[in-house]
Amino acid sequence: MNIPDIIATVREYGNPLILVTGGEPLAQRNCIPLLEYLAGLGAVIQLETSGALSIEKVHPAVHRIMDIKTPDSGECQRNRLANLPLLKAGDELKFVICSRADYEWSRDFISEHALESSGVPLLFSAAWQQVDNRNLSRWILEDRLPVRMQVQLHKIIWGAEAIGV
């Protein structure tokens, strides 16, 4: 689908919130131009990104939800730490926790990078069927972490293997 077709479809929906996600959007050649067009629609635009690619050229009106990959994800080496100082008000930083060790690594990462004072919301989400939500919430409360816990609602509603929903 080309950008004018995407913009037409977005206008048909008339939704005040647009989320660009799926795989790694920034790996797509036309993602940055698409975000620029979307930013001109007057809607709230969000970009969900793995954090492995630079967010420097993302339109300033776009709210970036950036992952920090934890060690048990097997992708920790892909974290682009140069993106951290580029985060701004309205952006979010997300950690998907795969184990107690991931939780502790994430807790320490927040401290090491002074993220609790960054003004950027910090999100913790239990990896599907790897960490119990009750355990994750207990760990967060015990450590009094300045994070917001999320559940993978799309998996709860449509199942872990839902495609094209």
Say if 37 falls within a structural domain.
yes
Residue 7's contacts (CB-CB under 8 Å, 6 or more residues apart) are 37, 38, 41
Say if 11 falls within a structural domain.
yes
How many structural domains does the chain have?
Answer: 1
Say if 152 falls within a structural domain.
yes
Look up residue 103 and give its two tokens. 């939780």
Provide the residue range defining the domain that includes 149: 3-158
Look up residue 65 and give its two tokens. 């939800």
Whole-angstrom distance, CA of residue 100 vs CA of residue 136: 8
Say if 35 falls within a structural domain.
yes
Torsion of CA 67, 72, 78, 82, to 10 degrees: 50
As a whole number, the mean pLDDT across the chain is: 92
pLDDT digits (tens, 9 = 90+) for 70-108: 999 999 999 999 999 999 989 999 999 999 999 999 999
Look up residue 104 and give its two tokens. 């502790």
Q: Which pLDDT band holds residue 161 (cuts at 50, 70, 90)?
A: low
Q: Indicate which CATH number applies to the domain containing 62.
A: 3.20.20
